[in-house]
Amino acid sequence: MTIPALEVAGIDKHFGAVEVLRGVSMQVAPGEVLGVVGDNGAGKSTLMKVISGVHRADAGTIRLAGAEVAFRTPRDARNAGIETIYQDLALADHLDVGANIFLGREPVRRLAGLIPMLDEAKIHGEVASLLARIESHIPDPSARVLDLSGGQRQAVAIARAIYWKAKIVIMDEPTAALAVMETENVLKMARQLASEGIGVLFIGHNLVEILKVCDRVMVMYRGRAVFDARSNQTSQTELIRYMTGYADAETNN
């Protein structure tokens, strides 16, 4: 069997007396896009923050490519191969595309073999090749991120994940507030990530998009994972029943 790119088991998380996650378990295979859906307060964001090192779980385990991990910070998670693409993207607006992709990991060359200098030629060459590879529609790699559209900004974050060989990419509401064409491009890039062997967690509310782009869908309700199915074996109606608790109530009656 293929080792999961990511496996979480029995994750609990409390904030004071509030139980936010209750025994959540899930797996994502390399090259798979898993949709994670649920109403507000279902625990989606908290689960993603546990996986990405923002919060520490109170119980449970996380395995990355088969090895158990415990992250103290988001930097630890990123260094291990977990990239998160948030709605606000966490990009440096006043830096250009290349600077954002290499931020904190800039290549250097040594002048006369002694003086370290930023290797701008390598950055420009790598960025041009990478953007062409993902068909990003960014016309000028030297443009400031501030001047890019929402979809182009998503492309920068996705390019960074591919270049640094992420094992898992968390896409948190990546199409929110995007125009139709840009939304299509972002969905296409989610599949591009999967084609690179990366496991993708796609968090969203638009069930049409979720069923279109994801291989599987997991529903969360009140801190639990209550449903998991192949996208081609479920429907919007069924997902809504689990998201709203109706299916859960029927099971318990």
Query: For position 157, what pLDDT does the model report?
Result: 83
Cα R_g (the chain), whole angstroms: 19
- What does the pLDDT look like over 121-147, one tens digit per residue? 777 778 888 887 777 778 777 888 888
Higher pLDDT, 168 or 115: 168
Highest mean pLDDT among 9-23, 91-105, 177-191: 9-23
Residue 128 contacts residue 141 (beta carbons within 8 Å): yes
Query: For position 231, what pLDDT does the model report?
Result: 97
**Positive or negative, the Cα torsion across 67, 73, 79, 82?**
positive
Q: Tell me: pLDDT of 166 over 80.
A: yes
The rounded distance, in Å, linking the Cα atoms of 219 and 211 is: 12
Query: For position 22, what pLDDT does the model report?
Result: 97
Position 1 confidence tier, pLDDT thresholds 50, 70, 90: low
The rounded distance, in Å, linking the Cα atoms of 213 and 36 is: 12
- What does the pLDDT look like over 26-52, one tens digit per residue? 999 999 999 999 999 999 999 999 999
Position 75 confidence tier, pLDDT thresholds 50, 70, 90: confident
For the chain, percent of residues with pLDDT exceeding 90: 51
Higher pLDDT, 123 or 187: 187
Query: For position 142, what pLDDT does the model report?
Result: 81
Query: For position 87, what pLDDT does the model report?
Result: 61
Structural domains of the chain, with CATH = 6-92+151-252 (3.40.50.300)
Position 24 confidence tier, pLDDT thresholds 50, 70, 90: very high
- What does the pLDDT look like over 189-217, one tens digit per residue? 899 899 989 999 999 999 999 999 999 99
Q: What is the mean pLDDT of residues 104-126?
A: 72
Measure the CA dihedral 198/76/21/11, to 10°. 80
Burial code of 166-180, b = ≥16 C-beta within 10 A, e = fewer? Answer: bbbbbbbbbbeebee
Query: For position 251, what pLDDT does the model report?
Result: 60
* Main-chain phi, psi angles of 17, to 5 degrees: -85, -5
Least confident of 60-69, 171-180, 185-194: 171-180
